[in-house]
Structure 1
Amino acid sequence: MYKILLVDDEAGVREGIRRRIAWQEHGFDCVGDCENGFEALEAAELLAPDVVLTDINMPFMDGLELTRQLAERCPHVKVIILTGFDDFDYAQQAVKLKVMDFILKPITASELIAVLQKVRGELDAEKLRRENLDLLKRQLHESLPLLKERFLERLVSADIGQREAKERIAYFRLPLEGPDFIVFAADVDRFAESHPEADHELLRFAVYNIVQEIAGREAGATVFRTREEKIVCILSGEGTDALLDKAQQLAEEIRHAVETYLRFTVTLGIGRPETGLRGIRRACRSALSALDYRFMLGSNRLISIMDMEGRREGGEAVPSSWEKELLVGVKTGTREEVRRAITSIVSHLKTSNLSINQCYIRIQKILISLMHTLDELGGAAVEPFGDRVNPLTDIYAFKTLEDIESWLHDTCLRAVGRISDARNDLAETQIRRAEAYIRENYQLQELSLKTICQEVHMSSSYFSALFKQQTGRTFVEYLTAQRLEKAKELLKFTDLKTYEIAARTGYADPHYFSILFKKTTGETPSEYRQKTAVEKP
């Protein structure tokens, strides 16, 4: 409902207008009437009408002067001029004063209603625009933290013009007056195993709060989070040495606070001091580069790029003897040899003075050799690496060499286990083949260890050891047992002579067969036949 105020020096006219219009049906509430401009001005300030319907020709203050005064004091009020003078000059002045409309007396109800509908339409449109603007302002206010973070991320990662940078810094009221800047970046090393995955975002926010609280004590500090979940602090001030000291002090305080109160660790990288707004980007890049050295130096520490920038882009390769020891250990299934080789390799990388990129290359070379070895052994080359699609690129997800060492150790031992299982399966299959061959060919006098080894493609020494391990007997013991069991059947169920049974079970010498039979069973072939014949039903 919109409020309307009537102004006319004739009381009859005011009363007639009030009575002839059903105000509420048309969306208006007539809140008062006045007989001159002075009264109307006071009433407008008190009643805050949306529309003023005023006569133009009144004593003390006419309608045009009232319109001028309302434009200054109540600029939102719509004014409709009511006049009995069909005077072009009045209309021209009314237009200049941005009067909503003017109506000539005598006025009819239909004319006034038409004007009111027109005014209401414009008031509705203005109300909608105000509501939309208020909504946009609220949304902007709610989005300011995110917009500020996105601007800061652009500031430290993209080439922003000086003018735009200064305008946005002023808009977000960021304390980046300079002239000197330094940046340090913090990143969570790893969460404790006791923290469920759902709590990780909450814990990252807790780290952010700690950084804000500690760094926020400095007048020139600005803290924000990157999309890579790192927390960056820009320190602004005068004097690069003083800024470097302050950054190291704050970073150490933050590291200690996170470890003490959150029970996990963060590593912080401190960049080089720079001068000027354009230097912020370089300062941040060097801070993130310092943080990358956590891969080689380990976690829960401060790393200054000033300490690391002297590292040369070279270094000794991993000694081939360690790599060879690792591969031999995997092939032979020697777990201790594998563990020792991995420890030696990682220790060498930590102290080799290699750059981070070269360190990754060394690890990838070892992985390629390992995958080639696994492939040679007949297993899937990437199977021991778990669900990772490509271990050569997945190593970049690890934050420290200690993480790489643990992962590589687990991977190699898993490979050893699978190779051992595969070998056991193959060995068992080969021994079962050998047993079947013996059962089928026991009657052959020329059946020997050499014959069997040729059949299963094994060396005699390896086969003998494996056969004993799988069956609990030597080859000769197993063959003898098979032949004598068959001889017992022939003695029991046939009338064949002893020499015939000897020949059928692989013995050319019947006398040797009889001696062997008695030695094994405690009875001669004849005694065994007689005994079994008596026991027959």
Structure 2
Amino acid sequence: MENRADRYTIIVVDDEQIIRDGLQRHVDWDAQGYRLLGTCEDGAQAVAMLEEHPVDVIISDISMPFLDGLELSEVVRKRYPRTKVILLTGHDRIEYAQEAVRQHVASFLLKPITPSELREVLASTRSELDQDRKETLDRARLERQLAESMPLLRERILNRIILGQLSVPGIPGALELSGMSMPGDFLVVLVADHDEPAGRDRSSTDVELDLIALQNLVERTDGEPPGRLVFRDMDGRVVCITGGASFREASSEALRFAEDLNARVAAKLDTPVSIGIGRAVAGVKGIVQSYREAGFALSYRFTVGSGRIIEYDDASGAGDDLAWNPTDDEHEIIRSLGAGRIDDSTERVRRMIQDMRERELGPDHCRLIFLRLVARIIDTAVDLSVEPGLVFGDSSPIDALATLKTLDRIEAWLVEVFERWHEVLGSRRQQRSLRKAAEAQEYIRHRSSDPDLSVERVCSAIGVGTSYFSSIFKQHTGKTFVEYLTSLRMERAKELLRASDQLTYEIAAEVGYRDPHYFSNSFKRYCGITPREYRNDV
């Protein structure tokens, strides 16, 4: 054996000194995979040794004073069931063999023992010990894996219970299997979830860390009953099942617990949490209904705002004006967007959301209105040849609306959409105005010598109105149409005055002036000197 610590421990029990000495001195225990701890004269002495040092194997004679081998085997079987016993006897009596079998003795050998017989028995016993050790290790590994997976197992069982996937008769057994029990005869389900704070983007990792922190707070919140069941549902929300001895006690406990949790969240977490509370039910039979009610109550944070405790009775009693349809607001929002009046669009949305709160509209009704508004924004973007992705970002606006949990968050999201809309349209208008200004400059340069050239002709040529043209042309060139045209004509006149012998009236006609006198006055205003003076200076 490679490692002494891996060897199995063994003792020899025999009232004959010669047998004890022979086995101790003439057997190579190390080679057999054993470590001999000592010898005993009788069974009583062996029991005393076992109390100090339990061993893996005992080789014992049957016939001994005080406590014989069979009696020792019975003691070992009861106190040390993993210890193997090898019995030796000089009597070939069938009753010994029968009793040895009854005491689960590993081997039964007749004296005198040959070395080969002993080696064979020791090898066989060592194989049994190896198998026992393997099974022990396997069981320990399975128990460790079970312990590690127990939280997940419990969560799955509890989710099946609240979703109605376990039959009522099967619930007690499932709870017992996972070491759980319901916290009372009357039960209440609470569902808690983080609210996305308006204007703050969080990664999926941030969201998960927040939920873990929330679950830890729920599990550690003080108070009775101590057996609350806390887990995450299939939507990732934190669920708590609490209870009491009566409907009133269970309901009071649930509300007290929610208020305590809300205070702890405010003190320890950065993001607000909303809590929905279902009604109290009698036993596990009604727990599915209580869970649904808690989820329904939680959904009303959409209207009432974040960081709230919402009881089912309050949410189910809220009014919902199903006939309310803010089409006028939607129309004005779209009109303002098209005109680039982002502040007007934002104000309309805020007024619409305030109306939703005052009318206590349900989440589904609100989402339907927003879906319709988003569809109209998409239609308008398509009409203006704007890619919707530039306005709504990478994610689908439908998916975004489905994940936003409160009206405050939807308002913040729509404001971001309006801002991107303004940027996109502003960029498109800037690009268009640059292009039109460039087209106008090119048109004017090629026709600057035409005395009939006018703003109207330029606008007609590039396809824009005179007011728009005047605005963008001044913005991109720094000059009005007249100033730009005059500069082109004057620079051309200066070239001709320097490089030719043409008379002033000829140059005036060539650069676009019918009246030489008007040309001379314009030249002097532009250059500070007359055309004649300019030519003389050159």
TM-score for the superposition, normalised by structure 1: 0.88
Distance 1:126 1:435, change over 3 A: same
What is the rounded CA distance, in whole Å, between the counterparts of 1:523 and 1:256 in structure 2? 78
The answer on 1:283 being equivalent to 2:290 is yes
With over 3 angstroms needed to count, the CA separation of the structure-2 counterparts of 1:4 and 1:452, relative to structure 1, is same
1:166/1:535 CA distance change after superposition, 3 Å: same
Which residue does 1:342 correspond to in 2?
A: 349
After superposition, the Cα gap between the structure-2 partners of 1:43 and 1:219, relative to the gap in structure 1 and judged at 3 Å, is: closer
> 1:93–1:214: structure 2 CA closer, same or farther, 3 Å change rule?
closer
Deviating more after overlay: 371-380 vs 30-39: 30-39
Read off the aligned partner of 2:347 and give its amino acid letter: R
What secondary structure sits across from 1:110 in the alignment?
A: helix
1:373-452 residue pairs with structure 2 within 5 A?
373-386=380-393, 388-452=394-458
The 1:26–1:459 alpha-carbon spacing in structure 2 relative to 1, beyond 3 Å, is same
Contact 2:244/2:253 (8 A) holds in 1: no
> Are the structure 2 counterparts of residues 200 and 324 from structure 1 closer, same or farther at C-alpha, using a change threshold of 3 Å?
closer
Per-residue deviation, residues 437-487 of structure 1 (Å, max 9, x unmatched): 111112234433332122101123332343344444443443344334433
Residue by residue over 1:36-89, the C-alpha shift from the partner in whole angstroms, topping out at 9 and shown as x without a partner, is: 444444444454232222233445654334433432333222122222334445
Partner of 1:114: 120
Q: Please, which moves more after superposition, 192-201 or 275-284?
A: 192-201
CA distance in 2 between counterparts of 1:58 and 1:248 reads 74
CA 109–427 in structure 1, closer or farther in 2 if over 3 Å, else same: same
2:522 alignment partner in structure 1: 520
Q: Is the 8 A contact 1:216 1:222 kept in 2?
A: no
Whether the aligned pair in 2 keeps the contact of 1:331 and 1:416 (CA below 8 Å) is no
- Equivalent runs, 1:305-344 vs 2, <5 Å: 305-311=312-318, 315-344=322-351
Query: Aligned in 2, Cα 1:308/1:87: closer, same or farther, shift over 3 Å?
Result: same
1:360 partner amino acid? R
Deviation at residue 103 of structure 1 after TM alignment: 1.7
1:20 aligns with 2:26: yes
> In 1, are the aligned partners of 2:497 and 2:535 still within 8 Å (CA)?
no
In the aligned structure 2, how far is the partner of 1:528 from the partner of 1:74?
127
Instruction: Say whether the 8 Å CA contact 1:4–1:28 is kept in structure 2.
Output: yes
**Distance of 1:184 and 1:112 partners within structure 2:** 69
In structure 1, what is the Cα distance between the partners aligned to 2:395 and 2:206?
Answer: 27
User: Cα offset for 1:309?
Assistant: 1.4
> What's the secondary structure of 1:218's corresponding residue?
coil
| SS at 1:382 equivalent | helix
Question: What is the one-letter code of the residue matched to 1:361?
Answer: L
Q: Which residue of the partner structure matches residue 467 of structure 2?
A: 461
In 1, Cα distance between equivalents of 2:310 and 2:92? 86
Q: Mean Cα displacement is larger for which, 132-141 or 439-448?
A: 132-141
- 1:94-113 matches, within 5 Å, as 94-113=100-119
Amino acid in the other structure paired with 2:445? R
Structure-to-structure mapping, 1:191-210, within 5 angstroms: 204-210=211-217
Q: Is residue 253 of structure 1 aligned with residue 255 of structure 2?
A: no
| Secondary structure, counterpart of 1:504 in structure 2 | helix
Equivalent in 234, 239, 249 of residue 242 of structure 1: 249
Aligned-partner SS, 1:530: helix
Tell me which amino acid in the other structure corresponds to 1:70. V
CA contact (8 A) 2:274 2:298 kept: yes
Please state how far the C-alpha of 1:273 moved relative to its aligned partner: 1.9
Q: Does 1:369 align with 2:376?
A: yes
Q: 1:213 to 1:57 in 2, by over 3 A?
A: closer
Instruction: Tell me by how many angstroms 1:5 deviates.
Output: 2.8
- SS of aligned partner of 2:275: strand
Of residues 435-444 and 91-100 in structure 1, the stretch that sits farther from structure 2 once superposed is 91-100
For the residues of structure 1 that align with 2:78 and 2:483, how far apart are their CA atoms? 120
Q: 2:191 matched to 1:185?
A: yes
1:514–1:406 distance in 2 versus 1, CA, 3 Å: same
Q: In structure 1, what is the equivalent of residue 492 of structure 2?
A: 486
Match of 2:168 in 1: 162
> Residue 4 of structure 1 contacts residue 49 of structure 1 at CA under 8 Å; is this kept in 2?
yes
Look up the SS of the partner of 1:433 in the other structure: helix
Query: Which residue is equivalent to 1:293?
Result: 300
* Counterpart-to-counterpart distance in 2, 1:477 and 1:31: 115
Match of 1:212 in 2: 219
Structure 1 residues 457 and 248: alpha-carbon distance in aligned structure 2, compared to 1, 3 A threshold: same
- 2:225 alignment partner, SS class: coil
How far, CA to CA, are the matches of 1:372 and 1:214 in structure 2? 50
Deviations 1:375-428 (A, max 9, x none): 222322221223x32111122222211111011112112211221221122112
Q: 1:515–1:524: 8 Å Cα contact kept in structure 2?
A: no
Residue in structure 1 matched with residue 281 of structure 2 by the alignment? 274
Tell me the secondary structure at the aligned position of residue 486 of structure 1. helix
Separation (CA, whole Å) in 2 of partners of 1:175 and 1:391: 44
Please state whether the residue corresponding to 1:30 is helix, strand or coil. strand
Q: Is the 8 A contact 2:275 2:310 kept in 1?
A: yes
Shift of residue 287, structure 1, vs aligned partner: 0.9
Q: Does 1:150 align with 2:156?
A: yes
Question: For 1:173 and 1:44, how far apart are their aligned partners in 2?
Answer: 36
Q: Equivalent residue for 1:123? A: 129
Higher alpha-carbon deviation: 484-493 or 109-118: 484-493
Q: Does the 8 Å CA contact 1:517/1:524 hold for their aligned counterparts?
A: no
Structure 2 residue ranges without an equivalent (≥5):
1-6
- Contact kept? 1:395, 1:404, Cα under 8 Å: yes
8 Å CA contact retained: 1:430, 1:456? yes
Question: Cα–Cα, structure 1 residues 146 and 215, in superposed 2: closer, same or farther, change >3 Å?
Answer: farther
One of 494, 511, 530 as aligned partner of 2:532: 530
Confirm or deny: 8 A CA contact 2:489 2:511 kept in the other structure: yes
Describe the shift of the 1:335–1:70 C-alpha distance in structure 2 as closer, same or farther (beyond 3 A).
closer
Q: Which runs of 5+ in 1 are unaligned?
A: none
- Shift, 1:204, TM fit: 4.4
Task: Indicate the larger mover: 444-453 or 421-430.
Answer: 444-453
After TM superposition, the structure 1 stretch with the greater mean CA deviation from structure 2, 322-331 or 89-98, is: 89-98
Q: Aligned partners of 1:402, 1:195: CA distance in 2, in Å?
A: 16
Distance change in 2, residues 1:528/1:72 (3 Å): closer
What SS class does the counterpart of residue 534 from structure 2 fall into? helix
How well do the aligned residues superpose, as a CA RMSD in angstroms?
3.1
Deviations 1:278-316 (A, max 9, x none): 322221222122112111211011111211113467624
Given that 1:191 and 1:200 are in contact with CA atoms closer than 8 Å, whether structure 2 keeps it comes out as: no
For 1:96 and 1:220, the matched residues in 2 are separated by 47
Q: How many residues align?
A: 530
**Contact 2:183–2:228 (CA<8 Å) still a contact in 1?**
no
1:176 correspondence with 2:182:
yes
Inter-partner Cα distance in structure 2 for 1:294 and 1:35: 82
Please tell me the residue identity of whatever aligns with 1:232: V
CA shift, 1:434, in A, is 0.9
- Tell me which of 231, 245, 250 is aligned to 1:224: 231
Taking only the aligned residue pairs, the percentage that are identical comes to: 34
2:113 maps to amino acid: I
* Rounded Cα–Cα distance in structure 2 between residues aligned with 1:528 and 1:374: 56
For residues 535 and 197 of structure 2, the distance between their equivalents in structure 1, rounded to whole angstroms, comes to 80
Distance across 2 between alignment mates of 1:529 and 1:412 = 56
**Pair 403,164 (structure 1): closer, same or farther in 2 beyond 3 Å:** same
